[in-house]
Structure 1
Amino acid sequence: MYTVIDIETTGNGYKGQKITEISIFVFDGKVVVDEFTSLVNPEQNIPTFITNLTGITNAMVRNAPKFYEIAKKVEELTKDTIFVAHNVNFDYNIIQAEFKNLGFDFKRKKLCTVRLTRKIVPGLSSYSLGNICTAENIPINGRHRAKGDAEATTELFRRLLERDTNFTINSFLNPKSRQATLPPLLDKIIVDNLPEKHGVYYFKNLAKEVIYVGKANNIKQRVISHFYDKKKKEQTMCLETADISYTKTGSELLALLLESSEIKHIYPKYNRAQRRAGEAVGLFSYEDQKGIIHLAYNRLKLAPNAIMKYYSIAECRTHLEYLCKEFELCPKYCLLQTNVSSCFHYQIKECKGICCGNEPVEEYNKRVRAAIKSVGIGAENLVIKQKGRTKNEVGFALILDGIYKGFGYVEKQQAEELENPEEYQFFVEPKKDNRDIQRIIASYLKKTAKLKAIENGEISI
């Protein structure tokens, strides 16, 4: 037995939206044996654009039953049935959330008519309910109203059952099948063909635009995990996902570096972390007439040989404050306190007195050099060797003159012939250096420093 269901909602995102109308058709595979339709008081305002779409107004639902008043009816009608809907995860998750708010666990087997139609009736330009019904000459009596859409979905499902000569529906109901959890626009074959390797993956919409970039140690597992995530952003992103491509990298470090570069190059709509404009501020050092080493910052174009790059002055100053505390530096000589004869930190005994002439210059400079060394990559020329994408190649990240140049791959035999980091630049895929890249590499070097020694400008995994 099946229950074909459609709901209308307030449209405030997965977590915030509430049901305004529900329609349930109990279907035995041939005929409808029961039906229930009701407006629902969502106990919140219905936005104007939703009213324009569905025709359901606040006045219409004001005296309608609240969900808890119809919950028993919904539970009874759907018990021991297969939950069927067009884009099933949307309707199912909203109803499940309503039951959860009442303290009940709502679980049903489910089928998605979007995915079933894509499999059984391939080749349509769109798999929206309206487009499918037009192609199949199925009337919709009340588009974007629960009963009209549920009735049309029931007829569509009946036809799919008749045409299912390859037992597609049974395979979708197989517990080992992930069909019901996959995004409605995404073909299962795409997921099945994903590698279980290190790399970067790209979620794309119907227009082939990249909407999300991610990295993974196991691409297939990480991609599938998105489909089980209940966060609003993840749910919305998955609904748009129609294709997935990937690039194997051979190692986690190279995946992290590629992911960071791709996010800044593509600016995918669902990547918030690292999706920032280019750095604007540079940290640099200079020595004054007394021989004291200063740390200072300026716009990147005016910061000679920047030690580190930042997205804002605030970010730079925060880092400088950390360096002052960590290495007992003087704020006056870090451009944090200006127009003062001696810094405030000296008064509270957090500065050793270089600003007052109470500390030898060389002792202070020693700590400044240590602070500079702690910033960023901390290496002039370095090749960080990694596993390649195949057994016969070596992956690597290249740093020259303290600047990240990119990463690449070289045959193992050829790698043995390369004698210094400079020779690797002929095999590198050029990438831009930036604050996030510096953090990734610095973090990696810090983790591996105790395990691997740097020999001839190389670190091997």
Structure 2
Amino acid sequence: MLYTVIDIETTGNGYKGSKITEISIFVFDGKTVVDEFTSLVNPEQNIPPFITNLTGITNAMVRNAPKFYEIAKKVQEITKDTIFVAHNVNFDYNIIHEEFKNLGFDFKRKKLCTVRLSRKIIPGLNSYSLGNICTVEKIPINGRHRAKGDAEATTELFRRLIERDNNFTINSFLNPKSRQATLPPLLDKKVVDNLPETFGVYYFKNLAKEVIYVGKANNIKQRVISHFYDKKKKEQTMCLETADISYTKTGSELLALLHESAEIKHLYPKFNRAQRRAGEAVGLFSYEDQKGIIHLAHNRLKLIPNPLIKFYSVSEARNYIEALCKEFELCPKYCHLQTNVSSCFHYQLKECKGICCDKESVKDYNIRVYKAIKSIGIGAENLIIKETGRTENEVGFALILDGIYQGFGYIDVHQSKELDNPEDYQFFVEPKKDNRDIQRIIAAYLKTKSNL
């Protein structure tokens, strides 16, 4: 069995934008190095100063070096029928895979990660960085953060791992069903194996036990594993930091969505962006003018006593109102999407042929406005949304009182049959804050149910 122990240096712009500046490949038979290839690579883009400070590789050094397509055939041939080995293998493998993909070639090799192998075969180290392991093992690195120096040190580390592998760990990692090569280097496979295949919320944590990402899933294990195969820069960076994963079962997709949203706003994880926003600042309201025409408008929340719905920004509010205009054929002028105009026209909407052009009555126009208002949010009623519980003996539920989300909870199946009114459920609810994202989730859920 032949291995190719590989290390690359890059421009450091993430998986999609990062280009190779140096590559070193050691062909290893498990005992000795039988071939080697090392080369600087012209990345065809500027090398950032901080990368130069780290690696010592300058723009001048790679200016006359071969471009990747000029060495691609050599890389393909020397790695053919070998197992791709690297320290944190997914980084090197994915960068090289992307370079070949740009050339129209599908580069595929079996993989082994010396970080993951070291965690199994040399347990108990404070850090599994190449520098720390080599210090502990007294392996010299002749040129740290240069491809040849790191690849040579990784080869020696791999040789020692093979010698100490009394439990056939390497063979188990090469088993196609093990997923070891695709797992984040800091994450124990047992953590993934123990994940449930049910509705819930999962938490990615770093070595400091800080939550760095919160997600919801209909199948927790399946969704978590999908992150490891994602080639997006954010996903890859997040997985590299992931050292542990915990979860909370919810019993249903709706409760998973509600719990996920609340946890993101509570924990503010670094890799969650969509729902990390602070409190809403803008509200939508309606009023009737002297002609009896119902207007829709937005303003700062503190100036609106009872907003129809809340938003995080003016642009979000305008986009929402524009959508209402399109759906219910409302007048942009009376929705305050434009001001100080005689005719009604909006750059994203068709020319108005309705009330502002005296082509319909106030009554007919207001009917559409009332329909639009009714479609907003989740209404002003008391509502209990019953969902599947986490076990057969319980019911999950979300509680809305006077149009305001109160939270969610779980109750015994038999006990739920004795409760007649939504108000009765407030004694079993886990209180949560209402906000624009929660209203959106519930409104979408109710709309889907009504269309079934």
Q: Is the shorter-chain TM-score for this pair beyond 0.5, marking a shared fold?
A: yes
Amino acid at match of 1:279: E
Question: How far apart, in 1, do the equivalents of 2:119 and 2:328 lie?
Answer: 62
Correspondence for 1:351: 354
The CA deviation string for residues 376-403 of structure 1, in whole angstroms up to 9 with x for no partner, is: 1125110110000111110011111011
- Are the equivalent residues in 1 in contact too, given 2:354–2:360 (CA < 8 A)? no
1:225 deviates by 0.6
Amino acid at match of 2:9: E
Correspondence for 2:410: 409
1:255 deviates by 0.9
Amino acid at match of 2:355: K
Q: TM-score, normalised by structure 2?
A: 0.92
**Structure 1 position 114 matched with structure 2 position 107:** no
What 5-or-longer segments of structure 1 have no aligned partner? 452-461
Question: How far apart, in 1, do the equivalents of 2:159 and 2:436 lie?
Answer: 57
Question: How far apart, in 1, do the equivalents of 2:339 and 2:235 lie?
Answer: 47
Task: Identify which range, 281-290 or 384-393, moves more after superposition.
Answer: 281-290
For the aligned residue pairs, the C-alpha RMSD in angstroms reads 2.2
Aligned pairs (5 A) from 1:279-318: 279-287=280-288, 293-318=294-319
Relative to structure 1, the CA distance from residue 15 to residue 288 in structure 2 (aligned partners, 3 Å threshold; closer, same or farther) is closer
- SS state of the match for residue 33, structure 1? strand
1:35 deviates by 2.0
1:171 deviates by 0.2
The CA deviation string for residues 84-127 of structure 1, in whole angstroms up to 9 with x for no partner, is: 11001111112222222333222211100000001111111111
Question: How far apart, in 2, do the equivalents of 1:418 and 1:221 lie?
Answer: 36
- Are the equivalent residues in 2 in contact too, given 1:337–1:343 (CA < 8 A)? no
- Are the equivalent residues in 2 in contact too, given 1:328–1:352 (CA < 8 A)? no
Relative to structure 1, the CA distance from residue 401 to residue 25 in structure 2 (aligned partners, 3 Å threshold; closer, same or farther) is same
- Are the equivalent residues in 1 in contact too, given 2:180–2:189 (CA < 8 A)? yes
Correspondence for 2:223: 222
Task: Identify which range, 402-411 or 366-375, moves more after superposition.
Answer: 366-375
Correspondence for 1:56: 57
The CA deviation string for residues 398-424 of structure 1, in whole angstroms up to 9 with x for no partner, is: 111011111111111111111100111
1:343 deviates by 6.3
Question: How far apart, in 2, do the equivalents of 1:105 and 1:327 lie?
Answer: 49
**Structure 1 position 39 matched with structure 2 position 44:** no
Correspondence for 2:193: 192
Correspondence for 1:202: 203
- Are the equivalent residues in 2 in contact too, given 1:41–1:61 (CA < 8 A)? yes
Question: How far apart, in 2, do the equivalents of 1:272 and 1:352 lie?
Answer: 41
Correspondence for 1:26: 27
Amino acid at match of 1:282: G
Correspondence for 1:456: none
Aligned pairs (5 A) from 1:249-260: 249-260=250-261
Question: How far apart, in 1, do the equivalents of 2:25 and 2:271 lie?
Answer: 34
Question: How far apart, in 2, do the equivalents of 1:83 and 1:402 lie?
Answer: 57
Question: How far apart, in 2, do the equivalents of 1:335 and 1:9 lie?
Answer: 51
1:73 deviates by 2.5
- Are the equivalent residues in 2 in contact too, given 1:383–1:397 (CA < 8 A)? yes
Correspondence for 1:78: 79
1:247 deviates by 1.1
Question: How far apart, in 2, do the equivalents of 1:409 and 1:403 lie?
Answer: 19
Correspondence for 2:348: none
Relative to structure 1, the CA distance from residue 412 to residue 41 in structure 2 (aligned partners, 3 Å threshold; closer, same or farther) is same
Amino acid at match of 1:177: S
1:334 deviates by 3.6
**Structure 1 position 101 matched with structure 2 position 116:** no
The CA deviation string for residues 111-169 of structure 1, in whole angstroms up to 9 with x for no partner, is: 00000001111111111000111111111111111111111111111111111111111
Question: How far apart, in 1, do the equivalents of 2:304 and 2:362 lie?
Answer: 24
Q: TM-score, normalised by structure 1?
A: 0.91
Amino acid at match of 1:173: L
Correspondence for 1:234: 235
Amino acid at match of 1:350: K
Question: How far apart, in 2, do the equivalents of 1:362 and 1:46 lie?
Answer: 66
- Are the equivalent residues in 2 in contact too, given 1:330–1:343 (CA < 8 A)? no
- SS state of the match for residue 56, structure 1? coil
Correspondence for 1:454: none
Q: Percent identity?
A: 84
Q: How many residues align?
A: 446
